[in-house]
Amino acid sequence: MKIEFAATGATPRAGTGVAVLAQDKGALTPAAQAVDAALSGLLSRAMPTTRFTGAKGQTLDLVTGAADGPARVALLGTGAEGAITAAVAETAAASAWKALGGSGVATVVVQLGAVSADVAAQAAYGATLASYRFDRYRTTEKPEARPSATRIVIELDDPTGVEAAFAPLKAVADATCFARDLVSEPANILYPAEFAARVKALESLGLTVEVLGEAEMTKLGMGSLLGVGQGSRRESQLVVIQWKGASDPNAQPVAFVGKGVTFDTGGISLKPADGMEDMKWDMGGAAAVSGLMHALAGRKAKVNAVGILGLVENMPDGNAQRPGDIVTSMSGQTIEVINTDAEGRLVLADALWYCQDRFKPKFMIDLATLTGAIIIALGNDYAGLFSNNDELANNLLAASETSGEPLWRLPIPPAYEKQIESMAADMKNVGGRPGGSITAALFLQRFVNKLPWAHLDIASTAWKKPSAVPTIPDGATGYGVRLLNQLVADKYEG
Ligand code: BES
Ligand code: MN
Ligand code: ZN
């Protein structure tokens, strides 16, 4: 999608789709009034004949019939009257794409009027996120089934400085789309080595990427991660991504760790057939970490950051690990593998340990599509947050508010530790159905020493179908990129 900026009215209107904003009680914004006047009052005549009130989230899409004006006009409701904030502009431009992108017009114009460069830039950000589409493997799709628009123009009265304001946001939107691509790819294409190769290509942005194979991980003693991948024909990989943007290249980094199970069959504890195809996105945590590092490099964030990806494929096979096997993790702690489908925590155990051991970071945040139980607990909008540190947790919750990626904190009570006690090893990898997401977090906590740490269970948010959020098309969400970028920008730069 081509995103452009222009001064109000500079884009020839004939045949375009124009989006403008209305507020409560159908109050047209000045930009909308101008469009209304140019169309001889079409908007103000049409509105009372519909249920459109300007309430937040409403859309009124009109065919103008104009010979030389816009073919379509979409009125977008923003609710409460007042100035158009960045958040309102982001949602409005995303909704403009939803309303007009497939309407037959080739150009969508979002006419914002007298807004600041920052607000217009945020609109472009919303439009970029909304117009994402994964269609790499569609060879016979009819043109009329595809979006008609190839260009979105954000118009504002004074476009001075808007490109500069958009640059950092574009970096984050592009990085989110990079993460969405990784999540959308099927597992026959995106296996651990291919995932690692795609991340290695990010070195062009200024990142350093190391890829460790099974031989190196064996030397490091990563028996927990390697046990998960041993039933797969595809080699497991550990990817270490570094961004050094702080003025002191030796300043203590912040660290992010992602679960990257490129396909989760469950292993010998095989999952049922129904819905198993969803497990191609069991690498959503690793995709989010990759996307975050892409974003930090893309906008040259003033921070040192480390991203660690644990990439494995969980397959049943003659060489696969069995329920009851005992593995030794890099930390030295032993784990009885009761259920080979609780594999994410086994991967993260070694990835987290390696991360804190090698980098001694300020904090570690892991992201993982870890438990079905988090979907039961929180539904499909909120990711679960678990942390041993209130300051880090509160910073994450604040970043969640600002970035619009919802997060909800859950407890990690020590009393529940007994659910993961094993008779044969230091712990077992499942704690039964009660509090399934919590016992998974307690398991991870055993591999972080005393470092400030947070675990985001994103099984609930990595994929949305259907999506009711205008900036998120159906499918891969890229959840976590925007949240963590916001966290870094707000609290850990400079
Ligand atoms: N990848 C799954 C969790 C998951 C479920 C992600 C649904 C996305 C959607 C994870 O590896 C898993 O299988 N977890 C088990 C744990 C259980 C065996 C303790 C689960 O949630 O059932
Ligand atoms: Mn599993
Ligand atoms: Zn899994």
- Residue 277 · residue 185 · CB < 8 Å: no
What is the 279 CA–ligand 1 centroid distance (Å)? 9
pLDDT band at 351 (very low <50, low <70, confident <90, very high): very high
**344 CB within 6 A, ligand 1:** yes
Q: Which of 13, 244, 299, 345 is catalytic?
A: 345
pLDDT band at 61 (very low <50, low <70, confident <90, very high): very high
Q: Which residues contact 294 (CB under 8 A, 6 or more apart)?
A: 171, 174, 175, 178, 179, 202, 205, 207, 481
Rounded mean pLDDT, 39-58 = 96
Rounded mean pLDDT, 69-96 = 95
Residue 176 CA: distances (Å) to CA of 2, 58, 130, 321, 378 = 17, 26, 11, 34, 23
Concerning whether 482 is annotated as a catalytic residue, the answer is no
**459 CB within 6 A, ligand 1:** yes
Q: Which residue type, as a one-letter code, is found at position 175?
A: A
Rounded mean pLDDT, 356-383 = 98
Mutate to test the pocket of ligand 1, among 371, 427, 460, 477 (most ligand atoms within 8 A of CB): 371
Q: Check pLDDT > 90 for residue 82.
A: no
What is the 271 CA–ligand 2 centroid distance (Å)? 8
Q: Check pLDDT > 90 for residue 200.
A: yes
Mean pLDDT over all residues of the chain? 97
Mutate to test the pocket of ligand 1, among 278, 370, 477 (most ligand atoms within 8 A of CB): 370
Rounded mean pLDDT, 135-163 = 97
The vertex-105 CA angle with 104 and 111, nearest 5°, equals: 140
Tell me the per-residue pLDDT of 91-111, one tens digit each, with 9 for 90 and over. 999 999 999 999 999 999 999
Rounded mean pLDDT, 272-300 = 98
Residues with CB under 5 A from ligand 2 (ion): 264, 341, 343
Question: What is residue 381's predicted lDDT score, i.e. its pLDDT?
Answer: 97
**405 CB within 6 A, ligand 1:** no
Ligand 1 atom with the shortest distance to the CA of 314: 11
What is the 119 CA–ligand 1 centroid distance (Å)? 40
Tell me the per-residue pLDDT of 113-124, one tens digit each, with 9 for 90 and over. 999 999 999 999
Question: What is residue 50's predicted lDDT score, i.e. its pLDDT?
Answer: 97
Cα-flanking dihedrals φ and ψ of residue 242, to 5°? -125, 135
pLDDT band at 55 (very low <50, low <70, confident <90, very high): very high
Which residue's CA is the closest to the ligand 1 atom numbered 7? Answer: 372
**457 CB within 6 A, ligand 1:** no
Concerning whether 271 is annotated as a catalytic residue, the answer is yes
What is the 31 CA–ligand 1 centroid distance (Å)? 49
Q: Which of 146, 198, 271, 409 is catalytic?
A: 271
Q: Check pLDDT > 90 for residue 140.
A: yes
Percent of the chain with pLDDT strictly greater than 70: 100
**282 CB within 6 A, ligand 1:** yes
What is the 478 CA–ligand 2 centroid distance (Å)? 20
Tell me the per-residue pLDDT of 17-39, one tens digit each, with 9 for 90 and over. 999 999 999 999 999 999 999 99
Rounded mean pLDDT, 341-368 = 98
Q: How would you write the chain as a 3-class SS string?
A: CEEEEEECCCCCCCCCEEEEEEEHHHEECHHHHHHHHHCCCHHHHHHHHCCCCCCCCCEEEEECCCCCCCCEEEEEECCCCCCCCHHHHHHHHHHHHHHHCCCCCCEEEEEEECCCHHHHHHHHHHHHHHCCCCCCCCCCCCHHHCCCCCEEEEEECCCCCHHHHHHHHHHHHHHHHHHHHHHHCCCCCCCHHHHHHHHHHHHHHCCEEEEECHHHHHHHCCHHHHHHHCCCCCCCEEEEEEEECCCCCCCCCEEEEEEEEEEECCCCCCCCCCCHHHHHHCCHHHHHHHHHHHHHHHCCCCCEEEEEEEEEEECCCCCCCCCCEEEECCCCCEEEECCCCCCHHHHHHHHHHHHHHHHCCCCEEEEECCCCHHHHHHCCCCEEEEECCHHHHHHHHHHHHHHCCCEEECCCCHHHHHHHCCCCCCEECCCCCCCHHHHHHHHHHCCCCCCCEEEEECCCCCEECCCCCCCCCCEECCCCHHHHHHHHHHHCCC
Q: Which residues contact 188 (CB under 8 A, 6 or more apart)?
A: none
**406 CB within 6 A, ligand 1:** no
Tell me the per-residue pLDDT of 404-449, one tens digit each, with 9 for 90 and over. 999 999 999 999 999 999 999 999 999 999 999 999 999 999 999 8
Question: What is residue 18's predicted lDDT score, i.e. its pLDDT?
Answer: 98
pLDDT band at 401 (very low <50, low <70, confident <90, very high): very high
Tell me the per-residue pLDDT of 241-273, one tens digit each, with 9 for 90 and over. 999 999 999 999 999 999 999 999 999 999 999
Cα-flanking dihedrals φ and ψ of residue 37, to 5°? -65, -45
Question: What is residue 494's predicted lDDT score, i.e. its pLDDT?
Answer: 85
Ligand 1 atom with the shortest distance to the CA of 282: 1
- Cα–Cα nearest to 315, from 246, 242, 263, 258: 263
User: From the CA of 266, which ligand is nearest?
Assistant: 2
Which residue's CA is the closest to the ligand 1 atom numbered 22? Answer: 372
pLDDT band at 237 (very low <50, low <70, confident <90, very high): very high
**372 CB within 6 A, ligand 1:** yes
pLDDT band at 81 (very low <50, low <70, confident <90, very high): confident
Residue 333 CA: distances (Å) to CA of 238, 327, 358, 428, 446 = 20, 9, 18, 11, 9
Question: What is residue 83's predicted lDDT score, i.e. its pLDDT?
Answer: 87
307: β partners:
241, 256
Ligand 1 atom with the shortest distance to the CA of 269: 18
Q: Which residue type, as a one-letter code, is found at position 197?
A: A
Structure token pair of residue 241 = 């991504």
Question: How crowded is residue 207: how many other Cβ atoms within 10 Å of its Cβ?
Answer: 22
**373 CB within 6 A, ligand 1:** yes
Distance in angstroms (rounded) separating the CA atoms of residues 290 and 24: 41
Question: What is residue 196's predicted lDDT score, i.e. its pLDDT?
Answer: 99
**436 CB within 6 A, ligand 1:** yes
